[in-house]
Structure 1
Amino acid sequence: MSPPKKPRACIPCQKRKVRCDASQVGTPCSRCTHKACEEACVPSARTRRRIEKTPRRQRGSMLDVFITKFEAWAQGKPASRFSEEPTASGEPAAPGESIVPEESTTPSHLSISSDEDETSIREDSEQLASNNTIPSLSEDLAYGCLTPRRFVVEYYKEFNPCTMVADSLDHPRRRGLVHTEDPLTTFRSLQQRELSGLDSLDRSYLLQRRVHDISLEGPWLRLVHFFLRDISIHIPIIDSQRFMSDFKRGTCPSMLLYAVLINALPSVPDEHIQGMGYTSRLAAQTEFFTRAKILYDFGCEKNELNLLQSCILLGSYPHSLDSDKGSRYWFNNAVRLALQMGLHKSATEREIDSTTYTVCRRIWWFLKHRDVFSVIVGLESTQKLIEEDADTSAITVGNYCDDASYNTPFYIPNLIERLYFIELCKLSRIGSTFLHLFRPAHSLPTVEEAMQFHKAMEDWRSSLPLELRPDLTNDLDSTSMSCIVVLHITSFQVEVMFYRTIRTRKVVSGTDIDRVLDKAVMEATSLFRKAVTLNITKHIPPFLNEFLAQLAAVQIETIQTSSITHGSNGSARAVSLHADLYVFLAHFEEFEKRWPSATKYSRLFRKCLKV
């Protein structure tokens, strides 16, 4: 006796996946009658689903696919990224064909609402895909990008329940949730990857805002070159070789690319900006910032490391491009991501590949020294990264370089540029000691502690490599000279603020503290004047303007008090400092043409000088 046949549901109930009583009461069923859709209530046709087994050769792991492609490449055969991946029908995809399921299999919340929207999105996708083509495996090998990056998404301490359970079961302890990038992406284009997971309205809005309207040549390429040559030495948070190879292949993350372009815009000539179709630097910066913010708000960047690098670049200088999401917002977000990913712990090294760990160490130490100097310069009121909580080892010359597996070098920093960042990180530790001595919970520093700080600065300066000596010559290129200028002005300004704080809080009084303070001010001003003479101030990072403005403010204080406390000698000193202020004013007036954030300082000192 054959089993009873399963009752058939009507088409509307079958689509809604609800119980249907059409087999008992006939059509229309009770649900269709209740929803007033009797005309659509038609019994569904019974179809027999045929399950096809996947051939054994297609059930291999990702490693099998990789080995097959590598062997094809080694034999000189063309190997497409999608040539061996199975499609939804079980057959290998054709070269260039996406292995993402067709629109008919997409869930309802990702479906296109109308034919016009679908046509518009398809046209824009095809236009972007023509620019962002996926290279073959041989191109990946040429750039050395086959090694997937591994990084910790969420760091686990010993108090974490997952860690506790692993310890109780004698499992090897994992230091956190580890993410491994898949070099064999399942998306046909960059746009398809970043728009995945969004509904049709969000996708249409992003396409209307032209967030993926990016060119891979012309002025855009020159902007990337300017960043890697002039800016990345001060913000060494990017693997320049991987970034450049991704950019040339059209697979560079959009948010990260816009953050790079924003920082590079002030360094390029006006004709480059006009070649991109913008009337001014500010207009281009505003447009790029708006696109980066939209990509962030819609969650298009799902890679935590790329998101961290983007936030650092967007918060690397004071700006007013957005009142709600200014530089402090992005920097604080970068600090949050860095702590979440465990960049402050050396234990994550065993979970990360060597190249990515080198980049993560540079990211951590950049955040660390920027955090310290932001408080010293007055941009922040307190430190966010506590020294006692971190044990990430310091950066050395030997492990500063990017992975040597890349065959094509892209802007590998020279020795001076590496030493510059290493010594800047050492200086931030001394600056952290300075801040610790004046914390509210800490009593005023004693004379012995003040002398220890003075000795620490002298030891640091005496141990500087010969390549970083402050005597600038024409034998060095402008980028290397700018590194030396930034390093020494920062060190002198740390001393200036320490001795000024000592004098203001009357920890130590007398002419000795005034003499040391005046000497630090004169050294910093003399070095700045020399940089102006050599015309290398255009290569300094915008963050140094905060130190220069602070130095000018100290000079104004000295002018106001010199004539009172030192008589005729003080008046002569005030005249000299007054002349220095005009040099600072001229610098800020020139700098505000490229960095609008310098406008407030040019107005301030113009008012003080009554110009």
Structure 2
Amino acid sequence: MQHMPCTPCVRDRHADCVLRETKRGTYTRSALRQKKVRSYESRVRVPADVAGDLPPQYPILGSGSDVAAPFPTSSSAPDLASWSSGSIGHAHPQTGIESSSVQAQEGPPASEPPPTPVSSETPGDSSSYQQISWSAMFDHFLDNRENGRDWIDKCSITYLGESFPLAIVLSGLKGGSRPTLHHLGPPFPTAQGNVPFQSQPTHMLPEDLEYLRAKGVFNLPGKAHLNALMSVFLDHVYPLYPIVNRQEFIQQYKIDQLPLLLTYSISFMAVTFAPQSALSLLGFPTRPEARLFFYKKAKALFDMGYETNKITILQSTFLLSFYGGGPNTYWNFYSWISTAVTIAEAMGIHRSTLAVPNMQPQDKSLMRRLWWALVVRDGICGTLVGRPFRIDLDQADADMLTIEDFAHDALAPNFLEDPSAQRYAQYQIETAKLSQIMREIIISRFYPGRRPVSPEDLVAKLTRWKTDLVSTLTWDAEVPDPSNPFSMALSVQYNHHLILIYLGHIRGEDPCRRDEREVEEIIDTAAHHITTVVCMLVTKSALLSVPHELYHGIFLAQAAFYERMRSPNKLVARLGRSAHNSCQMVLKTISEFWDSGTFILQLFENLSSRCLEQPSWTTESGQESRAVGAAEASGVGGAIHSANEADVFNASLGGDCWQGNTMLESLFDLPPELFLPE
């Protein structure tokens, strides 16, 4: 249907490539015919072009063009989902057949075309909801705006901003009172009876379904392995990123109504945070392969518009923002965050819901948790690569998180009485406040249209925030507590922000008024605290227990140590090099689950190898210099000889990758002699 002659005809050298009309699949076959088809399909191998999506070591166990997931199918596979009770099957998203082994029962035979979606105009079904027009949306709103008693469902909110002309008119009709922004929208389709949610995605074209089937997205893992993934998410990921209603999520999973896009997005996060032993049980040889496997499935569903629930799409895009991507790819952590923010703002999650009495309290809490998780993630990711913040907090007035926003899904029965049970909730509140201070630092230092704020004022805000911390999240600057990952994460972010205030040139400040020794002491103390924390996490094998925001501190700490390596004082340079090596070892460890670690590791490996070759930065002992150089460069320095390699290396030092980040531009303002000759 895309081009003629088709690929099989080109391969087999058939000149008469035509589209023939077929009646296959449009009539009920006899039982004998169906039995023959099933027997034939059990002997058919997966086409090579489809199987090529998987690494060669994965078993191919599908039927027809479906590629089976790389999970063992043995019934003796362990069930790690201790939080769930009873036998949990999974309904196939196309047929609704519930089974414990999806590979054995799903999908029509490969010789048949996909089932043609039935065009339905029934109000509330997925097709009409997906294709609803703007006028129909607002007609529904106007018809129901007088009935304020109907509960607003979080999945079908109609948001009207104040500048929208319709909102201006309606607010004028109400006598100038504060306009209501969140309104009841068209009802979102839900499961009815025993029919699984979205068992028939009527809004999709047959060729789109066939594409997804070829991608293997309907071949879910077996029950035991899916239980293990969901368990890892609830036990390890949810406390760090509580972006779902926990009880609602568990209930949806038990009755096989968990959306397919969210299932793969959660699986992607689960293998990101899962212990290595769990990955081995799931059948994946390496963590990067496991992450890429589930990411591709979720990305295919997202691209085809399979999901219509806006809350589900928002949750999934947030989770997929933990995929790093590359500088020349459109889909990376920054673009996923931008997409998630666009969806959130379209639903009005960035606005206060205090004046919305007809919304369930748990839905309001979920919206607040989603919004502030986006604020934190947008801030830390934008800072990492020097991109503008996608969220403008001047246009948002979402209510700050409170402990009550976590009480509906509390992990402990005595949540409101036990301060230790509230640690994960208090962390979400405090990291949201800390993210606001970081934004002020970035805006003050690097936004050209804003007046700079003095470093003393910014430090005072940080100090005030630290003083107001609850006792369960405070930390000892000298002895971090590995049993409290939340306090460790906050301590690293706090020191990250201190370095961000002082490192490099401060815009609008008179350099003569700066006490360089005091500034260097602040930076060194903060950088060494970050190194102490991350090294302790490595020695305690606890790197997977902390949020990814902690890892961002390593970048700035290494930048500070690199500055010390360039010091003419040989003792200072040697100490900076030692701390720099510690950060490199940590980056090497976390690169398999934090994608940004790879490019940071390579960047500083290149910088340090060239730094060691400069005479003014080497130690007096040539033997010591060679030993340190071998430890840091790992063969990089001696591998660059040709002109082409010199171009690549010079580009990595002075290319466009730092042009958007004012701080990094000044930080890596390298002397000409550091570059290789062309």
In 2, the alpha carbon distance for the partners of 1:247 and 1:413 equals 29
Structure 1 residue 363 displacement after superposition: 1.0
Percent pairwise identity:
20
C-alpha distance in structure 2 between counterparts of 1:321 and 1:192, whole Å: 38
Q: Secondary structure at the match of 1:515?
A: helix
Moved more, 276-285 or 491-500: 276-285
Contact 1:237 1:362 in 2 (8 A): yes
1:4-15 paired onto structure 2 within 5 Å:
none
Q: Is the counterpart of residue 454 in structure 1 residue 459 in structure 2?
A: yes
Q: Mapping of 1:29-428 within 5 angstroms? A: 116-117=112-113, 149-151=153-155, 153-167=157-171, 174-179=180-185, 180-181=187-188, 184-185=191-192, 188-190=195-197, 192-193=199-200, 195-215=201-221, 217-270=223-276, 272-320=278-326, 323-347=329-353, 349-350=356-357, 352-377=359-384, 379-402=385-408, 414-428=421-435
1:485 pairs with 2:488 = yes
Q: What is the CA–CA distance in structure 1 between the aligned matches of 2:111 and 2:595, rounded to whole Å? A: 45
Q: Which stretch of structure 1 is more off in the superposition, 368-377 or 257-266?
A: 368-377
Distance 1:311 1:368 in 2: 14
- Residues 75-98 of structure 1: CA deviation (Å, up to 9, x unaligned): xxxxxxxxxxxxxxxxxxxxx99x
CA contact (8 A) 1:151 1:356 kept: no
**What residue identity is the alignment partner of 2:496?**
Q
2:573 aligned partner, one-letter code:
A
- 1:440 corresponds to 2:443: no
* Letter aligned with residue 423 of structure 1: E
1:482/1:251 CA distance change after superposition, 3 Å: same
SS in 1 for 2:404: coil
How far does residue 290 in structure 1 lie from its aligned partner after superposition? 1.8
- Relative to the length of structure 2, the TM-score reads 0.61
**Larger deviation, residues 299-308 vs 282-291:** 282-291
Question: What is residue 577 of structure 1 aligned with on the other side?
Answer: 576
- 1:521 match: secondary structure: helix
Asked if the contact 1:216/1:250 (under 8 Å) is kept, the reply is: no
2 CA distance for matches of 1:156 and 1:121?
33
Higher helix share: 1
1:593: how far off? 3.6
Q: Secondary structure at the match of 1:117?
A: coil
* Cα gap change, 1:252 to 1:473, in 2 (>3 Å): farther
TM-score, with structure 1 as normaliser? 0.67
- Mean CA deviation greater in 163-172 or 148-157: 163-172
Structure 1 residue 277: deviation in Å?
4.6
Q: In 2 relative to 1, CA 442–168 (structure 1 residues): closer, same or farther, beyond 3 Å?
A: closer
| Deviations, residues 486-507 of structure 1 (Å, cap 9, x unaligned) | 1110110111011114558754
Check the 8 A contact 1:220/1:276 in 2, yes or no.
Answer: no
Give 1:204 shift: 2.6
The CA deviation at 1:548 is 0.6
1:485/1:528 contact within 8 Å kept: no
* 1:125-181 per-position Cα deviation (integer Å, ceiling 9, x unaligned): xxxxxxxxxxxxxxxxxxxxxx99435644212333433453465599652453455
Structure 1: distance between partners of 2:248 and 2:507:
49
Distance 1:407 1:205 in 2: 46
Q: CA deviation at 1:586?
A: 1.5
Q: In the TM superposition, what is the alpha-carbon distance from 1:374 to its structure 2 partner?
A: 2.6
Structure 1, 227-236 or 536-545: larger mean CA deviation: 536-545
Counterpart in the other structure of 1:13: none
Measure, in 1, the Cα distance between the counterparts of 2:412 and 2:578: 51
1:515 equivalenced with 2:521 (yes/no)? yes
Q: 2:497 aligns with which of 494, 513, 516?
A: 494
The CA deviation string for residues 252-272 of structure 1, in whole angstroms up to 9 with x for no partner, is 111111111111113334554
The AA in structure 2 aligned to 1:536 is A
Q: Structure 2 CA distance, aligned partners of 1:473 and 1:576?
A: 18
Distance 1:155 1:284, change over 3 A: same
Post-superposition shift, 1:245?
1.9
Q: 1:426 to 1:210 in 2, by over 3 A?
A: same
Q: Match of 2:113, SS? A: helix
Would you say the 8 A contact 1:311–1:331 is kept in 2? yes
What is the CA–CA distance in structure 2 between the aligned matches of 1:492 and 1:404, rounded to whole Å? 30
Pair 404,375 (structure 1): closer, same or farther in 2 beyond 3 Å: closer
Max radius of gyration: which structure? Answer: 1
What are the superposed Cα offsets for residues 471-530 of structure 1, whole Å, 9 maximum, x if unpaired? 499998x6x522221111011011101111455875452233223222222333333333
Q: For this pair of structures, how many residues does the alignment match?
A: 461
Q: Which amino acid aligns with 1:162?
A: L
Cα distance between partner residues in 2 of 1:148 and 1:359: 14
Contact 1:150–1:178 (CA under 8 A) maintained in structure 2: no
